Chain A
């Protein structure tokens, strides 16, 4: 069950982290742009 939990959370966590990082990079423009 632990393995399934890790796989499941990784599957949704990676795209979410990608989106968050990309958006934060964009948001930085608010302070530098």
Chain B
């Protein structure tokens, strides 16, 4: 046994937030947990809808797209860091405390950023939305994972897929809603349906205040709905011995401190890094990419800006759907085979995109949509994969540490694509061939992940806890 207790420190919480107050009574339906989790993920998924007010902030601060883009980058980096640092705290104190804390950070982040917009300080926006909001993102993202896995030991892929689908869905909601609210608040004649129209800074400030307050209220619904199962609870008719029959699924427990000492953790970290890097490569460039792939002899794209925006919308739906569909499928196929599909089939699809993607718009859209569904599926399936390898004991904390791979991919993906494209020519004049080196590099990235996934074996018994550990809340009760 290596480092069994892993630094569980006591945190003083108000009684209504304590884990002991969230133990489900008899008759509680576990199907209340997915909507509780969704209420958090639908809110924090807003982080992918920042493009709605990006140009407005550039004009308001008389700044550049890069300077404004840093707000989003800080938020994603803080997501990974706070998930890694706070994961143990989240597991220790339960989902209600975590969701409540996440709501406070996320909401205060919006309000501080609103003040920044109001007084003309971009640094306050970095601090508010980027740093404070980013901490809310990280805690919120992992807050329901461990609880869902405990409520759905028979179908962990379905449960986490439902919640993490919400993160993709959050952007679908926030994007049109923000555009409508900006039109309502704007006093300079902004029209949401006109792509050339830009709202004023005052409207963005009011939007941030509105979102901050609305998200807080919505996340409170999740915080006060969520429950943890009572000791010894199991789904009706489910036999825990079923999971012992699967080779890679453990019934043992591995602490978060021990998990990061195993090769399995770092192989899975690499798998996630590769899968996310490849997906971000397309996601970041989606609109210009489809236009560049289909240029006529005169250099003008045959795909209009409206159609390109439609393509981005379609990819968002594919990303969200993949999170639920593929993660649920993994309950039947097993996690390792599912990642072999994400990475192996992903390689083939990327290769086809690079070589034949410009032959037909329909083929291009189909290939990109399936690739993005694998990207979403990779995010949603990973908590169940962690449960299989390390058990349920501190799966939330382990998941938090693994999400640093997301932060790294957020840097690596755009760097690879933009680096190749910059070397190929000027934006607006690129063609399909300019994308080939970047796409073929992504095939290599996916191949690396494919090999890493193949190397994953059951965790060595020396990392297991010596006995079935007591639940953290029970040990204090």
Contact = CB atoms under 8 A, between A and B. Distances in A.
Contacts of B312: 26
B84 interface: no
A18 B27 contact: no
Interface string B301-320: 00011111111111011000
Chain B interface helix/strand/loop/mixed: helix
B42 A30 contact: no
A25 to B, nearest CB: 8
B31 interface: yes
A33 B42 contact: no
Interface residues of B, number: 35
B38 A12 contact: yes
Nearest to B225: A8
Contacts of B169: 16, 19-20
A5 B314 CA distance: 30
Contact of A30 (B166, B174, B314, B316): B314
B31 A23 contact: no
Contacts of A26: 176, 309-310, 312-313
Contacts of A9: 35
Chain A interface helix/strand/loop/mixed: helix
A23 B318 CA distance: 11
A15 B173 contact: yes
B310 A19 contact: no
A28 B31 contact: no
Contacts of B307: 29-33
A8 B222 CA distance: 9
Interface of B: 27-29, 31-32, 35-36, 38-39, 42, 166, 169, 171-177, 221, 225, 304-314, 316-317, 365
Q: 10 tightest A-B contacts by CB?
A: A33-B306, A30-B310, A19-B172, A29-B310, A19-B173, A22-B176, A33-B307, A26-B313, A27-B313, A8-B35
Interface of A: 1, 4-5, 8-9, 11-12, 15-16, 18-20, 22-24, 26-33
